[in-house]
Every structure is written in C-alpha cells, then in structure tokens.
Amino acid sequence: MPDMSDTAVRVPQSANVGPYDGTQTPPAVEVASSIKTEPEIGQLFDLSSGAVIITGGARGLGLTIAAAVVESGGDVYCCDILPSPSQQEWQALEAKAKKLGAVVAYRRLDVTDAAGVSDCFRAIAAQSRRPVRGFVSAAATQHEQEAIDYDMEAFSRVMRINVDGTMIPAQAAARLMRDSGLGGSIVLIASISGFITNRGLTCTAYNSSKAACHQMCRSVAVEWGKFGIRVNTISPGYIRTAMTNMLLADKPKLLERWEDDNPLRRIGMPSELKGPAVFLLSEAASFITGTDVRIDGGVSL
C-alpha cells in the first residue's frame, strides 16, 4: 500500500459534497503535497558545499581521489607522511584547482600520532573557507613475508599504520563533523585483501589490517549515524598504481596471473576509483552507510 503520509486530498469548501446522482458536475479535487522537489542528478554529485581531507594524499589513489573532489567542486586538503607530494601530479592538481576555483593544500602528517592528527584537522577546519564535510583515509603500507616466519615488528608496524592510522584520523574527522552539526561522509580505502587472500603474494599483516578496516567501518557507521555521519569503505582490487608497478617489476608473471583470474581480463586503473569515491562523498549516497564498494573487475566473485 502506498505511503500517503505526505499527501492530502482536499475538497474545496464551496463544492457540493452531497450524494452524487450522476446529474451534477463532480466537485474539483485538489491534491496538496508536502513532498520536496527532488534534486537534479548534477546537484547530487556536487561537492562544492564542503571541504574534504584526504590522508595518504601525497600520491597514488589518495591524490587521484583528490583530483576527483576538485573536479566535483570541492576543496581538498591532502595529508601524508612524505615531506611533499608527487611533484608532477601535484602541479597538475593545482592547475586544475585554479581553473575550477577550488582550493588545494598539502600538510605533512603522521596518521598514527593522535594529538598531531587532531591539531592538524582542527587547523584545517579553521583555515578552510568551507566546512569539512568529507574525509578519505588512503594511507597504508605493506610488508611481504611468509607467514610462518613473519617478523612481528613488521607485523605491528603494518597494523599500526593501516588500522590505527585509519581510526585516528577518522575519529578526528568525525569530531569536526559532529561539532559543526552538519554531519558528513567518511570513506575508508580498504581492499579486497580484507576478505580474500592475494594470489601470488604473502602479506598476512596487510590482509589482516584491511579486514579490520571493514569491521571498523561497520562499527563506527552504527555509532556515528546519529551525528549525520555516513561511513563506507572502498575495496580496490589489483590497481595499476606506482606501488603495483614496483611489485610487478620484481614479479612480472603476477600481471598475467591477475589478468587471467579477472572476469574483465585486466587490472584496474586509479581513475576507476574517482566515480565511486565522489558518489560516496556526495549526497547521491545520502542513505548509504556501513557498506563496501568493491572495485575489482569481479576478481573476488
């Protein structure tokens, strides 16, 4: 049965509402509705009302998503442990931002330093011409070693950066969104490694850390929904990043294996994360939280 809670049928007071015998003219019926005008599709994906903070934003997927935010009208603040971002990519991003009237800025940041992250995010919020409405966690590291001999210091380092380094800035961003009263969207870059094992790789710590990100997302999505904050993950498959290129340089046969295993017979490109990231950050995903978007060409099926 349709929901009629927002719609009322009203008969004008001047109308004859007595028994209808088929000879008189039926009364005009007015339909009064409180249903709001639906936004157009371009408005749904528009990010011009806020700023987005991205950790792991010096290169790779983080910088690719930064470009997508700028192209969608948003301001971007990229943070990373590196002293400076990839020069060529950053110059291209700055040129794009200037052309579109957006703001881009870079700050050096250790995502495992809770006090430093909190101070950095508060400073960004104070500096920004727009409220912080989005956060993307793209900082991560990897260490490959056979599990039976896996060095526990290396294991702890991967977990510290990939898990603590996701939760700490997510908390800081959520506090900004809560305190502003505007809510927002948080996107955690996880991985298909969180629910499958990587073919041809021995990376137990990385896989474990990404599984933790998936459950972290679901947990905080339930807790932070009351503040108007949505939290989702993106799980890339094998993507042609600079890090992937370095890996394939040492193991060239892996590429053929990954392509053969994939229903689309190829690995992904960084640009293929731009659309899903903007979607989750935008009002187009206003009723989506606690879920995962896989961008893997179907390899995890």
Q: Which residue segment(s) compose the domain that 60 sits in?
A: 42-295
What average pLDDT score do residues 45-64 get? 97
**Residue 266, φ and ψ in degrees, nearest 5:** -165, 170
In a domain, 7, yes or no: no
Place of tokens 């004008």: 12
Question: What CA–CA distance (Å, rounded) separates 167 from 217?
Answer: 9
Give the whole-angstrom CA distance, residue 124 versus residue 66.
16
Whole-model pTM: value is: 0.87
Is the model more confident about 74 or about 16? 74
Is position 95 within any domain? yes
- Active site residue ranges: 206, 210
Separation in Å, CA 81 to CA 128, 171, 217, 270:
21, 18, 23, 21
Residue 9 belongs to some domain of the structure: no
Instruction: Express each pLDDT in 194-234 by its tens digit.
Output: 999 887 889 999 999 999 999 999 999 999 999 999 999 99
Place 71 in a pLDDT band, splitting at 50, 70 and 90: very high
Number of domains composing the chain: 1
- Percent of the chain topping pLDDT 90: 80
pLDDT per residue over 231-266, tens digit each? Answer: 999 999 999 988 888 888 888 899 999 999 999 999
Q: Is residue 184 part of a domain?
A: yes
- Ramachandran bin of 22, using left for φ above 0, alpha for ψ from -120 to 50, beta for the remaining angles: left
Look at residue 31 and tell me if it is in a domain: no
Bigger pLDDT: 22 vs 151 = 151
Say if 8 falls within a structural domain. Answer: no
Query: What is residue 20's predicted lDDT score, i.e. its pLDDT?
Result: 46
Q: How far apart are CA 235 and CA 241, in angstroms?
A: 15
> Residue 291 and residue 232: Cα distance in Å, rounded?
5
Q: Is residue 15 part of a domain?
A: no
Q: For position 168, which CATH number holds?
A: 3.40.50.720
The set of residues, in sequence order, having a beta carbon less than 8 Å from that of 48 and lying 6+ positions away, is 72, 73, 74
Residue 240 CB coordination number (10 Å) = 16
Percent of the chain past pLDDT 70, that is, above it, reads: 88
Burial of 30 (0-12, 13-18, 19+ CB in 10 A): exposed
Length of the chain: 301
Token digits for 10? 């009203």
Tokens of 219: 């947990």
Least confident residue range of 70-74, 159-163, 248-252: 248-252
Mean pLDDT of 154-177: 99
In a domain, 272, yes or no: yes
